[in-house]
Each structure stands twice: as structure tokens, then as C-alpha cells.
Structure 1
Amino acid sequence: MDEQFLSPLEVAEILQVKKNTVYEMIKRGDLKATKMGKQFRIARKDVYEYMGVMPETESPENIVICGQDQLLDVLCALYNSQSDGHTQVYRSPMGSYSGLYRMYQNENYVATCHMWDGATDTYNLPYIERMLPGEQVAVFHLLKRWQGFYVKEGNPKNIQKFEDLLREDVRMINREKGSGIRIFIDEMCKKLDIDPDRIHGYEDIASSHLIAATNVLRGTAAVAIGNEKSARQMEGIQFLPLKQESYDIVFRKKDLKRKEFQKLLNIIGSGEFQKEAEMMSGYDISDMGKQLY
């Protein structure tokens, strides 16, 4: 696999810390970095080595969980601390759509997703049924979290509703295709019969919540859409809630007959895992572990 390099801001998004913290980690020598011109770049493999996980693995005995939420690192760490040495769990940092696609193509993969279907006003199940055709699956709830507008503190453009994105004085920054936020934006456009070409900045892409928030803070965009948790990490950003999303995990039904996957599910339902989740602000874990499908 070709080496991939990340900016300090992208690393901050993965680690769920502030960008300045990443620079401090580089300065202390805790995180390897390479100077490319005037900018630091960090190899993705070094980020995952620091975290104690790897983004992908070739071993047929290991399990890969697809998803971007930091809580999945906790899940992997708890599993691996109890491992018998034969099976390890790793996280692959890909978005909802790509995760389901990868799960369909590969054994021993588990997907997490937060994709809103505007026609039914539900999360995930319509996409799971379409993207995993013929697969018998079991879907379990992990958590709920708010998504909404990122604006500068004080909301100088007075953005209140989705239709405000059509205003001439408002420029947004979008997210990449396949991400849960991009799917929400496109579904809202469809539901409200909005032509995306009328939205200033629709073609401008940020690859993470924190990068989107940074663009708003710098003034290159007036608004972005992302989750509440990331907004709290960026001083000067105000969060305006739009919709509470459901973040769920998908297993193949046949895999749950195997002790390795049953152990993973047991950890999700454990008090230890839920206690770790409670310590992370911005989550509603009241139905964590509930089977949805």
C-alpha cells in the first residue's frame, strides 16, 4: 500500500485533539513527522502506531472495524487487551459508505455508519439493505450525536435554517462524497428541492470536521455542517444543532456465531465500554448495544 501522509490538522481529527496538541506531540518526539517544505507531514502508519492500532490488516484471523469515531479505538483497545493472541481488532478510518462497501467485498470486516435517508427520515437501515444485498446482517446501536451548523462565534451571518445556504452572502464548505455529513447535505437538498449548484461553495471540500471548522474560523467559508463533538474542540466556533444522528454498527449474522465476533459484541454491551463512552462529551449512549435489525 502506498504511503499516505497527513497534515497536523488531519491527525488532530483522527486523535480527536486540538491541532496545537499535535504540534506539541511532534516537538516532544511522541509522534514522528517529516518537514515537507514549510509544513509538517505525518505518515498515516505512524499515527496508528502511536494509537496502538493499524488501519488495515491482511491476516484472515483478524477483525477490521470501518469507521472514523474515536470511540472505535477504545473498542479495539478493550478487545485487544483481552485477546488470546490469535485474533486482534483494528480500525480502518473510512467513512460510512466506503465502510459498507468494504464490508460487502471482504470477510472479517465490520462497518459503522451514520447515513440519513430523507425519504423515510431514518438512519442507516435503508442503506444497509441496499449496499449489502443478499447478506443476512445484524445491526446494533452505538450512540446518538448531534450534527449541525458550524459558524463563527456570535453567528454573524445569522444562519438559522438549511435554506439559508442559498443566500448570496453565505458560502459553505462541503464534505467528501460517502461521508455521513455529505449524505445528509445531499438528502436535505433533495428533500427541499434545492439545486446544489445554487449553493455557493458546494464544490469546496473539507476532508474532516476539524478542517471544515477551520475554514469557517478563517473566513474562507461562512458555514459548514459537522458533528457537535468536533465543534467543541475548536475555540471560536459556535454549533447550531440541526438533527440528532444515529451511529450504528453492522455485523454479518453468520459472524455472530463465532466467538471472536460475539466477544466484540459483548464488549459493546459491557459497563466498562459504556463508562469510557460516557467520559467522551457529545454522545447519547442510552440505547448502546440495542439490536435494531
Structure 2
Amino acid sequence: MSEATSYTIEEVAGLLKVSKLTVYDLIKKGLIPAYRVGRQMRVDEEDLKQYKANMRTTAKTPVKETSDMSGRQEPEQRQSVIISGQDVSMDLLSKQLEQKIQAAPLRKYSGSLNSLIEMYRGACDIVSLHLYDGETGQYNIPYVKRILTGEPFVLFHVVLRQAGLYVKKGNPLNIQGFKDLNRKDVRIVNREKGSGARVLLDEQLGSLGMKPFEVAGYNDIVTDHLSAASQVSSGKADAGVGAQHAAHMAGTDFIPIIREQYDIVVLKQNRELVQSVKDILHSEEFRSQLSQLAGYDTKMTGRLLYET
């Protein structure tokens, strides 16, 4: 009889593309069964599969539509709050929001653009964004205006953080910026379509007159910052695009290119939710937690950037 496969907390975090903090929280809530072997906690493969199946069932529950007296179709209010975004700040927001609304928010870990589209389709209540618009030089607002047409929303600032390139320790290839990514001796690891890092890369390549096919590794895809940095650290790639905090975690050097704006958009149909999010963003506790993360600037955290 073969022994069942089990995972460490670090491995579970990697498979789910979340932080270890989130995994510990899921275990604490009883959503993922775990057990201890010596000083190490383990999760069986079957239990992890069951958790993912449960979340998949929840996420695919259709949003019903109801008609008002005029016959206009409106989405029926969901009982749970769904937060989409890959940054650890959204895990922190989720934990604090749980205390305010007395229910555990559901977390999705889609990229910025994909999350925004899901919000338009009624599948998310809070979405985090770091989408650079090359035409205006702005972050997020141009995308939100285009995609959430006709939807009432507010856009709050969360943090400013450095975005740039992960390179190997010591930067042996002397990579200085996006202009070096089409060199014959440089291979990158890319992010998935719809992620903020992918949008930034494509915008920068376009501004430099570079084509994706000229960049080796452009079609080698990972789905989060830490995985991109880890690919570089392990030598599987020479460079990757992402946020500074993952460079520290993966043990790579980091070349800052741009200070990116990390914001969240909240639909106004739930005004109590909007107020709760606003209160959390302005709290000293939340700012203190963010300030402990490498490369995060909280001086504008909570600022209202746009409101329909």
C-alpha cells in the first residue's frame, strides 16, 4: 500500500499561490485539515484537493438576477464577500474585514485585469489592481473606467511599491532595464495574461518598440511574483518582472523600474462594505502591518482616488 502524499505549509502556499500566513489561517479555521510531524505541520494531498474542490464549487455558484418594478435586471446580493488579488495586503484586509462583518471573506487569487473583468461579471466585491496605462502614464483609473462602465464604484489607494526586474544575485549579466530583455544572452520568465506585471511588461516593450517574439522566455509563464523571483533565483531564468517584496523572499537582486500604485476597487452597491473597507485602510493597525513588508510605502494608504 503506497503512502499518501503530504505537503509542508510552504508547499501548500506555493500550490495555492498564497502566503504562508493565509495557509495557517485556513488551517486555524478548519478549512484545511493539518497534522504535526515533529515540529513540522503537514497537509495530505487528498485534503488539499478537497479544499480546492469546495472553493471551486463556491466560486462557481451563479449570481442570480432579480427584476425591480421597472423590469430592470439587477444582481441579487450575495451573502459572502469575495476579495480578488494576489498581494499579501489583501490577505491582511480579509482578516480584518472578517472581524467587522462577522463572516470569513472568500479569497480569489486572480491577476488584476482578470479580477476586474470578474467584478464586472458580478463575481467579486473587492478587487486589487496595479495596472499601468502607457497612454496616460496612470495606474488603474483608466482600466476601471473602461471596464466597470455603468457600475457604481469607489477606488481606494492601498500602497505604493517598487516594481521592476528580478535578476540573479550580483546581476552577472548586467541587466539594467527592459531594454536588455531582447538580448541573446537573456531569458525571462513571464507572468500570465491579465496580471499587472504582464501588463507592465507589455506596455514597456511597446514603448521601446520591442516585440514579444524578440524576448526569449516570453511564453514561459508563472502565476505569482514569488514564483517569478524563484525561477530567477534557481537559474531557470535570467530575469522576471514583479514587485520588490518577492525578491527578498526568493533571494534575488532587484532592479527598481517604476513605483507602482496598488489600489482596490469596491462596488458601491454594498455601502456598509465600502465603509468597512475605508475604516480598515485608515486604521493604524492595517498601516502598521503593511509597513512591515519590504518596499511598501503607506503614506497615502486609504486615500479616495476616484468615485462614480
Relative to the length of structure 2, the TM-score reads 0.78
Deviations 1:23-66 (A, max 9, x none): xx97556341329xxxxx944837x99xxxx9859582221111
Contact 1:114 1:246 in 2 (8 A): yes
**Match of residue 79, structure 1, among 83, 86, 97:** 97
Please state whether the residue corresponding to 1:158 is helix, strand or coil.
coil
1:222 maps to 2:238: yes
- Counterpart in the other structure of 1:245: 260
- Alpha carbons 1:16, 1:70 under 8 Å: kept: no
1:260 matched to 2:278: no
Match status 1:287 vs 2:271: no
Structure of larger gyration radius: 2
Post-superposition CA distance 1:1-26 (Å, at most 9, x none): xxxx9955624851158xxxxxxx97
SS of 2:165 mapped into structure 1: strand
The match for 1:22 is none
User: Measured at CA, do residues 44 and 139 of structure 1 come closer, stay the same or move farther in structure 2, by a change above 3 Å?
Assistant: farther
How far apart in 1 are the matches of 2:87 and 2:58? 13
1:147 Cα deviation after fit: 1.1
Stretch moving more, 110-119 or 275-284: 275-284
Q: What 5-or-longer segments of structure 2 have no aligned partner?
A: 1-6, 22-34, 62-76
Q: Please give the secondary structure, in 2, of the residue aligned with 1:202.
A: coil
RMSD: 3.0
Cα distance change, pair 31–81 in 1 and its aligned pair in 2 (3 A)? farther
Q: C-alpha deviations, 1:144-169, integer Å up to 9, x for none?
A: 11111111111010001211011111
Q: Shift in Å at residue 184 of structure 1?
A: 0.4
Structure 1 229/156 Cα, relative in aligned 2: closer, same or farther at 3 Å? same
Alignment size in residue pairs: 269
Q: Does 1:185 align with 2:201?
A: yes
Give the SS at the match of 1:94: coil
Preserved CA contact (<8 Å) 1:149 1:241: yes
Query: Secondary structure of the residue that 1:292 maps to in structure 2?
Result: strand
Percent identical across equivalent pairs?
A: 34
Structure-1-length-normalised TM-score:
0.82
Residue type of the partner of 2:246?
A: S
- Counterpart in the other structure of 1:109: 125
Q: Structure 1 residue 283: deviation in Å?
A: 0.7
107 and 234 in structure 1: CA distance in 2 versus 1, 3 angstrom threshold: closer
Asked if 1:45 is matched to 2:45, the reply is no
Judge conservation of contact 1:172–1:200 (CA < 8 Å) in 2.
Answer: yes
| 1:175 aligned residue | 191
Aligned to 2:298, the other structure's residue is in SS state: coil
Is the contact made by 1:16 and 1:230 (CA closer than 8 Å) also made in structure 2?
A: no
Q: Distance in 1 between matches of 2:18 and 2:36?
A: 15
* Conserved? CA contact 1:150–1:225, under 8 Å: yes
Q: Which runs of 5+ in 1 are unaligned?
A: 18-24, 36-40
Q: 1:154 to 1:261 in 2, by over 3 A?
A: same
Change in CA separation of 1:128 and 1:31 when aligned onto 2, cut-off 3 Å: farther
Match for residue 41 of structure 2?
Answer: 30
Aligned match of 1:147: 163
CA spacing shift, 1:107–1:205, aligned 2, 3 Å:
closer
Residues 166 and 44 from structure 1, CA distance in 2 versus in 1: closer, same or farther, beyond 3 angstroms?
Answer: farther
Tell whether the 8 Å contact from 1:171 to 1:223 is kept in structure 2 after alignment: yes
Report the Cα distance in structure 2 between the residues aligned to 1:211 and 1:82, rounded to whole angstroms.
Answer: 33
Alpha-carbon distance in 1 for matches of 2:17, 2:250: 11
User: Deviation string for 1:79-112 (max 9, x for gaps)?
Assistant: 22233x4x54332111101111111111661211
Q: Which runs of 4+ in 1 moved over 6 A?
A: none
